Structure 1
Amino acid sequence: MTALFIIIMMIIIGAAIGGVTNSLAIKMLFRPFEAKYIGKWKLPLTPGLIPKRRDELARQLGKTVVDHLLTPEGIKKKLRQSEFNQQVTIWAQSEVNRVLDQNLSTKVMLAKIGIYLNEQQLKSKIADLTEKQYEKFMDSKRPLLLREVISEEWLNKTDEGKKWLTDYVQQQLTSYVTSDTARSKIGQVVDDYLDGKGFFVNMISSFLGNEGLADRIQPILVQYLQSRDAREWINEILSNELDDILDLPVEKIEAQFDSVLNGAVLGKVVSESVPVEKWLNKSVTEWIEPFKAQLLSHIVPTIVTKLSETLVDRIDLLMKKFRLEEIVEKEVESFPIERVEQLVLNISSKEFKLITYLGALLGGLIGLVQGIIVLLVS
């Protein structure tokens, strides 16, 4: 009976020592959180293992994340997966639909992304941009002749326009000369010309009368204006005038119209002509509706694919720029050690209990062996 009691006590004591020792070892992984002192003497094994090696743990964890978890190769592999791209595309399409369903005006939509515009500001911007573009264009064209600025196509069109204008001028002159107004004017001019030209001329004038002379002159003028010679004469005058204009420097032509046409005036005209208020109040849905189907079926998937390809090409550089290792290290360093302990215990509580029970079991077996040895020796 005494031998059995000794063995049982040895087993109990050994199990208690093994269980308590393992449990204490697990606790000492985290606790104490800070070093403990007796006077100036620091107690050994304080702080716990993880708090003591916290900085090194942070560095190693950051290195592990970068080298083995979030690697450029792994991210590239994920980005290249067709399923992933399909999921992103579906999400992007749903977001586009969500935005369009809100039926927000262009002005409100711009405000949502931090761009605040009103009608006057936008008109001012358009006017300034137009003026700058005008000045930029004219700076390079002012030294040139007008002929050098106009394209070959437009030069050909001026020739066609010249032919049309010749016919038009000929028709208008003929129409005017055949009118009663022209007949009266011809008579007046003849009368003014013959007045005071001498007795003989006055006698002829009195004999025929001004109206008689006008009746004879008018058909002659009409006949001439309808002739080929008149047409060539008109065409020659217009050609000479056109050549003179085309051979003028652009800056000289600009100077002639500076009071009515310059960058500021053009900018104001353009800004007032653009329906800014209508555009800003028009909903984004109205703008996109004509090509909404193409946007969702083609443009959005294309953008997603291009972004994925760009990320794949630049992911190595982006990972270096992000310095993910430093981010993880700083986050771990700033993470409360109590939270770390709780996190580990929540994940591994069953395993820690098994370790404690295993310690008790081993301690009990050691106690059993010790009890048997004691009995044999005694």
Structure 2
Amino acid sequence: MEIKNQPKLTNSILWLMTISTGLVVANNYYNQPLLGLMAKDFNVKESQISAITMCTQIGYAFGLFFFIPLGDRFKRKKLILIDFIFVIMSLLAMAVSKSVVLLFPISFVIGFTSVIPQLFVPMAASLAQPEERPKVVGIVMGGLLVGILGSRVLSGYVGDVWGWRTMYYIAAIIMIILFVLIYFKLPEVYPKFKGTYKQLMKSLFELFKKDPDLRMASLRGALAFGSLSAFWTPLVFHLEKNFQLSNGAASNISGKFGLVGACGAIVAVFIGKVIPKYNKKTLLTLFSALTLLSWFIFYWGGFSYLGLIVGVILVDIGVQATHITNQSIIFSSNPEASNRVNTIYMTSYFIGGSIGTALAANAFQYYNWFGVVFTGGFIALLLMIFHLYHIKSQKQVS
């Protein structure tokens, strides 16, 4: 396959990718503030309905592993537009579903198809000049993080006022608008990998095997997102049970915590600019410490709004800054395989998130908020331990 000249990364293209990244990734997170409303609508237990979030994250991980590598093999714009069709169909299916049993496979499909942001992130990194790459990744990741946090605010409000199904109708309309904009505005990016799909998938394992920094970044990402997911998934049930709020009010307030967590998105953009100036290992130690500290705050102040606010600021900054630093490391060391290394990293990331979600949902059911704190805190402690061990082992080798 002939490799044609790649387009330049203009500001308009960068912002189209950034905004699209935020709006598409939001599809994965609309459900979190809506879980209480869904549980009431279908008359099921909290731990059962929480599996919707886990199915979405597992679906996202599968989409990352099996779909995103195709970005190194086929034209990316074409892949993105095809995927958008399935995103729209899955959102509409969620909105009209009358059976709680169907919500789980549909949520899996929503996660599987909403992986478009992970085509945009390496696409932006590959089009940027090397010295601009951390900043560009930071900007696109900022859009992704705003989408994650803003989705909770929007769905919490919409669910409280119009019901949870309305949110999915709105999401489908947003995706249709994006499809049109991308069709006319996004340039085509041609692939660099010329092998078969089997060879493409085989190369994932080869990359993982040969690159210790990629392996460590994947583990850090999985543990960081697992810790973050342990907070967000049970939050709406914590507000209902321990703050004596109604389903609608808990959904609304849970969503508004996304505004507080926006600090993480702001920091992600800032981190992208300062990464080249500081030692990445030192930065990652600081970010891991912030993540662990947040769970001490949740322990002492988790039954007050102030404690939750301080804790969510710290955990979002710690996790999102870890995430952006990890991606800067893996893209810099493997620029010719940006989609594949991103696939390995983000698959690990969302597997960690799904595990954190499942563990925290069950911990809340049996041990209330302190079960959640122990779960999230233990995952954060593992993050710190493995990171420090990696630094120590590297010093011994050198």
Coarse TM-score class (shorter-chain normalised) = under 0.3
Q: What is the TM-score with the length of structure 1 in the denominator?
A: 0.18
Q: Which has the higher contact order (CA 8 A, sep 6+)?
A: 1
Q: What is the TM-score with the length of structure 2 in the denominator?
A: 0.17
Which one has the largest radius of gyration? Answer: 1
